[in-house]
Amino acid sequence: MTLIGLSILTLGVLVLLIASLGLFVFRDALSRQHAATKAGTLGVVLIVAGTALVGGSWSWAWRALVIIMLALLAMPIASHVLARAALGRSPSNDTVLFEE
């Protein structure tokens, strides 16, 4: 159980690192939002699930369930509102999304 939890935890941390790397790979605010929020949601869910598995008792598990449920409810809404805020700020609607 601890081994599975630790591997899920490592996977989540790496996903979170990739999400914040996406802030520098992409060029305008809309694509940065796209990279950051979706991978951030997956990262949080994986990290908290791994924490519950490593912790290994019910007092960890139900708190982790609350966090996962709140993440799945709240972060898509935040992502949607962020996309609306970033929409008009993109310099152009060209198809080139990567810098270099």
8 binds other proteins, rule: CB under 8 A: no
- Exactly one of 4, 8, 23, 38 binds other proteins (CB under 8 A); which one? 23
Cα 42 from Cα 51, distance rounded (Å): 14
Q: What minimum distance in Å lies between the beta carbon of 66 and other proteins?
A: 6
Q: Which residues pair with 98 in a beta bridge?
A: 26
Is 77 or 96 the residue whose CB approaches other proteins more closely?
77
The whole-angstrom distance between residue 12's C-alpha and the CA centroid of its chain comes to 9
> 51-70 burial, b if ≥16 CB within 10 A, otherwise e?
bbbbbeeeeeeeebeebbee
Binding region for other proteins (CB under 8 A): 6, 9-10, 12-14, 16-17, 19-21, 23-24, 29-30, 32-33, 36-37, 40, 43-44, 47-48, 51, 54-55, 59-60, 63-64, 66-67, 70-71, 74-75, 77-78, 81-82, 84-86, 88-89
